[in-house]
Amino acid sequence: MGTPRAYCVALARRGASHVRKVDVPRSLTSVGIPIETPVLHPAETIPGLLPTTGQLILAGDTNVGKTLVALEIASAVLTGGLLWGALPVRKGEKVLYVLAEHHTSTLQGLWEKTGLPTPPRSLWVVGPHEFSDHHVLVRGVPQFLVLQQMQAWATECALVVFDPLAAFVRGEGVENDNAQMRLVVDSLTGVAERAGAACVILAHSGKPSRGEHGERIQRGEYRIRGASAIEDAASAVFYMEHGTGGVFTLRRRKYKGAQEPRTYALARDPETLRHTLVSGRPATHDKQTQFLEKLQKMTETMLRPDAMRLLCSLEGVSESTAYRWVGGTAP
């Protein structure tokens, strides 16, 4: 199996000796470019959210809705429809979803609940029971046969989703090892890139610590669980967080490409669990996002209706407009 590195190690069977193959050296003109060459901006599957090369790491707490967003992205790619009713998407014919936790039926049940459209036999799921040996790194040793298997499945895919990051590595303390976690991110991304597919990796947020009196102390700017190299290796990082009034936010931490908007605010339908974009539409002012952020802070100490009335007065926004932004109706 080929890799982006200068060599690869193939394991024919358990206990087999390493077989090394060295790539033939290539000329500088075949791999490099003069610095004055016109800049080619990275392609995007979803402008401002999902790059076509590299990867989107979507991080958040357990049950915040990361998998829902991944399924919505998959549906939009397969149908060519607008993501959340607003964001244009580059259409593809096939998506691979590698699920490394829970059971395949869990994901199928969530998909059925949302009713998201997809052409027949276009979204393929490989679960941990069917692919029990899914670890790409075990105690610091790359598992090239595992990567080779994933590579074969990713053929002709437009998108590959890995869910979640921590389940693709095994070893004591490995999540906090920068070198190993960067290798895991690079290895998963390489599977998608060699197939010509975009890559989405779901990751857990680190748990908040407790203060002297038991109060929750949220981690600072970096919130992905484990080594900081996870974020360093990523092309795009968004944190998914709970908002107020059924609104969830995707907050951009890092993105190599177009830089606006910074935050997407998503209203979730409690019945279908599907999201609608209420703030963060392309080429629009971010006043809605700022309002939602302020409202979220105020509702930590105030009742929501009181916070809405006060904030509307301070910001000069009508209550009908404010409730539309949060996906609800005024009482």
pLDDT digits (tens, 9 = 90+) for 48-92: 899 999 999 999 999 999 999 999 999 999 999 999 988 999 999
Burial of 265 (0-12, 13-18, 19+ CB in 10 A): buried
Angle made by CA atoms 64, 67, 73, in degrees to the nearest 5: 120
End-to-end CA distance of the chain: 61
Using CA atoms, how far apart are residues 165 and 15, in angstroms rounded to an integer? 27
DSSP states of 185-251 as a string? HHHHHHHHHHTT-EEEEEEEBPPPEE-TTS-EE---S--BSS-THHHHH-SEEEEEEE-STTEEEEE
Tokens found for residue 42: 């990275």
Q: Provide the 10 A C-beta neighbour count for residue 209.
A: 10
DSSP states of 96-145 as a string? EEEE-SS-HHHHHHHHHHHT----TT-EEEE-TTTS----SEETTEE-HH
Give Cβ neighbours of residue 310 (< 8 Å, ≥ 6 apart): 298, 302
Least confident residue range of 64-78, 154-168, 283-297? 283-297
Domains, the chain, ranges and CATH? 7-13+43-242 (3.40.50.300)
Question: What is the band of 16 on the pLDDT scale with cuts at 50, 70, 90?
Answer: very low
Across 99-103, average pLDDT = 93
The 10s digit of each residue's pLDDT in 193-229 is 999 999 999 999 876 554 555 554 455 567 788 888 8
Average model confidence (pLDDT) across the chain:
84
- Give the position of tokens 């290895």: 187
Using CA atoms, how far apart are residues 117 and 44, in angstroms rounded to an integer? 22
Least confident residue range of 179-193, 215-229, 288-302? 215-229
Greater model confidence, 236 or 7:
236
Q: Is 285 helix (H, G, I), strand (E, B) or coil?
A: coil
Indicate the helix (H) or strand (E) that contains 267.
strand 263-268
The confidence score (pLDDT) of residue 9 equals: 40
